[in-house]
Amino acid sequence: MLASCASRAPLPTAPPPAPVPPDNTVRADAITHPKSRWVPVPWSELPGWNADALYDAWNAWIRSCEKPAAGFAALCADVRRLSIASEGEQRAWMVERLQPYRVESLEGAAEGLLTSYYEPVMVAARKPGNGYNVPLYRTPASLGSRKPWYTRQQIDTLPQVRAELQGREIAWLADPVEAMALHIQGSGRLRITEADGSQNTVRVAFAGTNDQPYKSIGTWLLQQGATRDASWPGIRDWLTANPQRQNELLWQNPRYVFFREEALTGSDAAFGPRGAQGVALTPGRSIAVDRQSIPYGTPVWLATPGPTASLQRLVLAQDTGSAILGAVRADYFAGWGAEAGELAGRLKQTLRLWVLWPK
């Protein structure tokens, strides 16, 4: 996953487009997918098309060319060649070779929902002790033969499950709420103290789940009337006031994630984890989508008016998620660390998408 576009000052954006009312008349030249339809439009419909720093997205596109989607493989030689071209040359090539399509629901709705995710950075230890007592596990041997596997509560409490997981620990965290956040995001970076006392940074990447359903602990608190703030800070405030109910809260989410350890060296450190397309994610330029609406590897024009973030830019569909469902739905990869986590925790706003498909 090269350098983040966050290092550049944001470009001025045009006013957000006026909402497009649903149009239930299906055009003859529209393309229909299982969960969406694509309506061809002129480039002038794309808000901010002439203002985006396309070179910031080009590295994400080159990554997609490692495993190109059907229809894009023939373009990848040009994509690589144009990595050193000017923005004007990149933009002219896109206009020549690609056709924009507005993404709509099958009912004709062109607006949807944008959220965000990130890669947490956490302090960890290779051995338990000194407050580090929350394990991160590799996949257990019986994971494939028992579906669904044990719930989060059973993993924490049943002796036979604990025995099966013994020796499968990758590292240990000090905070069970941080561990829950890591399970929800699916990957993270660990600043880890090794057994010999040396320091190292590694990635723990998604390796599998217990096949139990995901349930939001924040939603549970809201339903209980325990808080009005279901953000991570709000959850932490509630736990500070109710430390004796920590397990009760965490066990509301039966889903449990297992990880694999990956080295984090060289250029790997400048990209995120591998998404569902199988390529490394690029901060600010990769999105997760519903693959029944948009295939992996597709360049997409994304526009969202705020209030948390105003974005009009080229992104690549390179990932998915269990909650990323629907035609006009995207999860924006914000990067890693505290700043990315702050954005990911707050971003929930309206969205419009245009796929850029080969002519």
Same domain flag for 319 and 200: no
Number of other residues whose CB lies within 10 A of the CB of residue 275: 27
pLDDT of residue 9: 29
pLDDT of residue 103: 98
Same domain flag for 155 and 261: yes
Would you say residue 11 lies in a domain? no
pLDDT of residue 4: 30
Tell how strand 188-193 and strand 121-125 pair up: parallel
Same domain flag for 103 and 144: no
Same domain flag for 255 and 135: yes
Q: Pick from 266, 295, 327: which residue ends a domain?
A: 266
140 CB-side CA count, 13 A? 22
Same domain flag for 105 and 37: yes
Spell out the residues 6+ positions from residue 341 whose beta carbon is closer than 8 angstroms to its own: 118, 120, 334
Same domain flag for 261 and 149: yes
Would you say residue 186 lies in a domain? yes
- CATH number of the domain to which 344 belongs: 2.40.40.10
Number of other residues whose CB lies within 10 A of the CB of residue 185: 19
Same domain flag for 286 and 253: no
**Closest listed residue to residue 207, CA positions, set 256, 173, 270, 269:** 256
Number of other residues whose CB lies within 10 A of the CB of residue 197: 7
- CATH number of the domain to which 128 belongs: 2.40.240.50
Spell out the per-residue pLDDT of the chain, length 359, in tens. Answer: 333 333 222 323 334 444 444 455 557 788 999 999 999 999 999 999 999 999 999 999 999 999 998 889 999 999 999 999 999 999 999 999 999 999 999 999 999 999 999 999 999 999 999 999 999 999 999 998 998 999 999 999 999 999 999 999 999 999 999 999 899 888 999 999 998 999 999 999 999 999 999 999 999 999 999 998 888 788 989 999 999 999 999 999 999 999 999 988 877 888 999 999 999 999 999 999 999 999 999 999 999 998 999 999 999 999 998 889 999 999 999 999 889 988 988 899 999 999 999 99
Q: Pick from 244, 266, 288: which residue ends a domain?
A: 266
SS3 338: helix
Would you say residue 19 lies in a domain? no
Q: Pick from 213, 238, 266: which residue ends a domain?
A: 266
Same domain flag for 93 and 229: no
Would you say residue 21 lies in a domain? no
What distance in Å separates the CA atoms of residue 292 and residue 295, rounded to the nearest whole number?
Answer: 7
Would you say residue 4 lies in a domain? no
**Closest listed residue to residue 333, CA positions, set 320, 322, 323:** 320
Instruction: Tell me how many domains the chain contains.
Output: 2
Same domain flag for 146 and 227: yes
Same domain flag for 142 and 261: yes
What distance in Å separates the CA atoms of residue 134 and residue 34, rounded to the nearest whole number?
Answer: 42
| pTM: predicted TM-score of the whole model, two decimal places | 0.80
Same domain flag for 179 and 100: no
- Record the tokens describing residue 169, joined without a space: 């620990």
Range of 38's domain? 29-117+280-358
Same domain flag for 173 and 156: yes
Would you say residue 13 lies in a domain? no
Mind giving me the DSSP string for 156-203? HH-HHHHHHHTT-EEEEES-HHHHHHHHHHS-EEEEEE-TTS-EEEEE
Would you say residue 271 lies in a domain? no
